Structure formats: C-alpha cells, structure tokens
Amino acid sequence: MNTLHERLGSALGAENVKTAPEDLAVYAFDAYTEGNLPAAVVIPSDARQVSAIVKIAREYGEPIIARGAGTGLCGGAVPIEGGGIVISFARMHRLLELDGANRRARVQPGLVNLQLSQQVKGAGLFYAPDPASQRSSTIGGNIATNAGGPHCLSYGTTVNHVLALEIVDENGDVFTTDLDDAGYDLTSVLVGSEGTLGIVTSAWVRLLRLPEATHVWLAAFADIESASETVSGIIGSGIVPTALEMMDAVIVKAVEQAFHAGYPTDAGAVLLIESAGFEEEMNAYESAIRSIAAQRGALSWRVAKTAAERDALWAGRKGAVGAIGRIAPNYYTQDVTVPRSVLPKALHAVEVAARENDLVVGNVFHAGDGNLHPLLVYDKRDRRQVGAVLATGDAILRAAVDLGGTISGEHGIGYEKREAMTRVYGTQDLAAMARVRDVFDPRRSLNPEKIFPSGTQCVEVKAPA
C-alpha cells in the first residue's frame, strides 16, 4: 500500500506536498501560538484537488486543517494534537471573475484581502471588510473567521459581504450555497465557522462603489475616558462614521516612532475618524463630529488634507500592532466586545488588570463597535511576564462578560478561547451548535480541537464553568 505522502503526491504532484520537518515547522504557528507539526502540508490548485485531499485524508484517518495566511490570533489554523493535513491556499489566490454590473466578484480563498480591492479599483469598486491584517490575510481566512475591521462600523463584517460559497465537505464532495436561494441560509452558517464545517474553495463577494469623497480627522484627548465619551456621543447622535478607531498613549508613541505620521505624542488618547460619501455632505459631518469632540474636551483636531496624509494616518493605525515591537519583543492581543456605553468601564478594567499584574498595556481598537484590543506587551523569555499576560488576558475576558459583552469581537474562538465558550453559552446553546457541526462533519475531521470546549463529544457539552 502506498504511503499517505505518496498518495497525496500522485494527486497533486510531489512538489505540492511538503513533508520535511523544516517545511512543516512553519505551519505549526499562527500569529497567536505554536501548535504541533502536521503530518503533511498540501498546496492544491483547485477544488478538485481539495476534494481529492479530503478523500485521501479520510482513508488515512487524518484530520484536515485549512490555512490562509496564518495571521489568525486564536490558534485556528494550527494542528493542536499533532498530525493532520494542512491545506494551504497559497496557489489558489486569484480573482476569478469580476461582475461589475452586479458589483460582485468570484475569488479563490487564498486571494489576499487588500489585493482584491486593488484589483477592482479600476472598475470604481472596493471590498469593504478591511482587517488591520489586510495586507496579508486571505479572503478564505476572513470568511472562516467572519473578519471585521475599521470600516465594518458602517459596512458590516465579512458575513454581510459574502454572497455565495463553494465548499468541499468532510466527504470530499463539492457543494455550493447562495444567499439568493430560498430555504436555510447556509452561506451565513458557514461564514465564521473557522474551517470546522467545510473548506471554502471559492466565494462570490459583494463589492461597493468607491465613495466620491473620503475625509479623515484626528482628534486628540487628554485621557481615554474623554475619547470614549466622544465615541458614545458620536454614535448616540445618530452619526455613523465609516470608521472610528481609538489609540491610547502607549500605542500613539509607538506608532509615531515607527510611521512619523504626525500623531500627537503628548495626547492620552486619539480618535481616528473617517467619513465617506458625497463631498457636499462632508462639511456638515465634520462640524457635527468636531463639536461633539470639543464638548468632551478634545485638545486638538487635525484634518488630513491630502490623500498622502490620510494614508499616513491609516498606515499608523493599521501598523500599530507591528509598531508595538519597539516596546517589547512579544505581545498578546485580547479581543473582546462590550456595549459602547460601558467602554470607559471596560477600559478601566483593562488598566486595573494590567497594573495588578505589573504589565504594560496599549489599547488600539474599533471603538465604534465597542471591540477592544488590549495589547499586552511582554518578553516571553520571562516566565513571570508570561504568567502575568495569561492572568491579565483572563481578567479582561471576565470583565467584558460581566459588563454584558462577549469573548471575541472578530478574531474568533479557535483553540485559544474554546474553554471560554462556557462563559457566554449555556449547555443548550453549545449542544445546538454541536448538532450543527455534526450535520456537516459528524466525524469531527475538519479542524478538530477548535471552537468547542475540550472533552466535548458529539452533542454532549460540558456545563458552564
């Protein structure tokens, strides 16, 4: 009998099957954690090859882990127990069809998010969900995690932009879903399922018309409380900017050192605010937002006057996580959501948790959505700091849940947060989710050890902790 590697090689070509430990090592990591080595990494070129891989994996009893760019922040794309076949979509990275008349595009899962917008720009269109990782994360990974981003405040998250999917199921069969079809909306069930219900091999996504005008403003505040109150004030007034992002003093200093975009390093917090639409509406938006900020004590108000200035401010925001490398060699990003009205309380809880554990924390987040991303900076060679990061991350999670929020805003559950699922879901809720999973993947061969609390078998689910 042929070995697993030989079977995969004959289905895909030996050059598209990686088995050397030094090649596999890369796939044991995502942006959150180190897992275990897979048995093989395969790099298919189309759905037919993905189907063949799944069928071979089934014969050998190997689980399947789909992988985009590996920028995930919850261990979703790494094998945990070891073994398993990682499917990399690095060769399935094309825009297949642009249907400008209907403002939609069919893409392969390995297409990098930003490249989609760049490729449809000539047609006056763009793809709205823009995770800060958009220079490297893929549409397949974004669909699997229901990625958000700064512009999701007004445009909605990935689930609002996926129109139809082509999926390879756990048997290796190919099926399609379409939002326009009657009956159950399986497209939306699959979005955010983190590779546990099926493998995305192509998607039709919604495109939006590029706005006539885009204005970006930067408001500086003495402290994070007045910036948070401004966020509540703006949304409470009925204005929904296209983006409303907050950065605290720790982040502003790191970003300014890295990008020199003109961020005020003496501010306690800044808000990056963007409005897009018709040019004639912009003055009214600016004066309304500016007066709300002034009433909450804004220290300064800066207008990005050119496209270059606007891009520089955004480069600072989107590069904030990388800039944090100037403070310490490692960081851990927590991802929780709270109702906007309790943002100041949640930020206070973050500060207290970090102080009690003697850690530096920087806050950079989608303030308009109440989606916090405290960045805990540390040195992983120091065991005390590692313990402190775990304790602080947990305290933030608990505080968010206590404030009526939830355990993930956009990064997903993956491996990292599966035990925390019991903090927000009861036994019945988890059992219902497990039944959905069992319909798609009764053998639990697609991305096992993810989302569900450990020890969950079929529809048996542990009681909440």
Ligand X SMILES: Cc1cc2nc3c(=O)[nH]c(=O)nc-3n(C[C@H](O)[C@H](O)[C@H](O)COP(=O)(O)OP(=O)(O)OC[C@H]3O[C@@H](n4cnc5c(N)ncnc54)[C@H](O)[C@@H]3O)c2cc1C
What strand order describes the sheet that includes 64-67? 17-18, 40-42, 85-88, 64-67
Query: Shortest Cβ distance from residue 296 to ligand X (Å)?
Result: 25
Helix (H, G, I), strand (E, B) or coil at 66: strand
**CA 452 to CA 158: how far, in whole Å?**
22
**CA pseudo-torsion sign 180, 185, 190, 196:** negative
Query: Shortest Cβ distance from residue 212 to ligand X (Å)?
Result: 26
* CB nearer to ligand X: pick between 123 and 315: 315
* CB nearer to ligand X: pick between 148 and 316: 148
* CB nearer to ligand X: pick between 87 and 120: 87
Q: Would you say how long the chain is, in residues?
A: 465
Query: Shortest Cβ distance from residue 5 to ligand X (Å)?
Result: 22
- Provide, for the chain, the percentages of residues in helix, strand and coil under a 3-state DSSP scheme, each rounded to the nearest 5: 40, 20, 40
**CA pseudo-torsion sign 394, 129, 189, 369:** positive
β-pair partners for 200: 167
**Binding interface with ligand X (CB under 6 A):** 30-31, 65-73, 76-77, 89, 109, 131-133, 137-138, 140-142, 144-145, 147-149, 194-195, 199-200, 321, 410-412, 414, 447
- In the block, residue with structure tokens 């932009």: 161
* CB nearer to ligand X: pick between 77 and 261: 77
Q: Which residues contact 54 (CB under 8 A, 6 or more apart)?
A: 64, 168, 169, 170, 171, 172, 199
Query: Shortest Cβ distance from residue 283 to ligand X (Å)?
Result: 30
* CB nearer to ligand X: pick between 293 and 397: 397
What strand order describes the sheet that includes 300-303? 300-303, 213-221, 269-277, 243-248, 360-365, 374-378, 330-333
Helix (H, G, I), strand (E, B) or coil at 151: coil
* CB nearer to ligand X: pick between 31 and 347: 31
* CB nearer to ligand X: pick between 226 and 337: 337
Q: Which residues contact 447 (CB under 8 A, 6 or more apart)?
A: 63, 64, 65, 66, 76, 194, 195, 196
Query: Shortest Cβ distance from residue 320 to ligand X (Å)?
Result: 8
* CB nearer to ligand X: pick between 39 and 66: 66
* CB nearer to ligand X: pick between 225 and 365: 365
* CB nearer to ligand X: pick between 53 and 293: 53
Query: Shortest Cβ distance from residue 211 to ligand X (Å)?
Result: 20
Q: What are phi and psi of 255, to 5 degrees?
A: -65, -45
* CB nearer to ligand X: pick between 117 and 447: 447
Query: Shortest Cβ distance from residue 432 to ligand X (Å)?
Result: 21
Query: Shortest Cβ distance from residue 2 to ligand X (Å)?
Result: 27
Query: Shortest Cβ distance from residue 420 to ligand X (Å)?
Result: 16
**CA 381 to CA 370: how far, in whole Å?**
33
Q: Give, as one character, the DSSP assignment of residue 446.
A: B
As given in the structure block, the two tokens for residue 197 are 């219900």
Q: With the CA atoms of 25, 27, 30 and 35 taken in that order, what torsion angle do they form, in degrees rounded to the nearest 10?
A: -60
**CA 248 to CA 22: how far, in whole Å?**
40
Query: Shortest Cβ distance from residue 161 to ligand X (Å)?
Result: 13
β-pair partners for 275: 215
Helix (H, G, I), strand (E, B) or coil at 348: helix
Query: Shortest Cβ distance from residue 135 to ligand X (Å)?
Result: 9
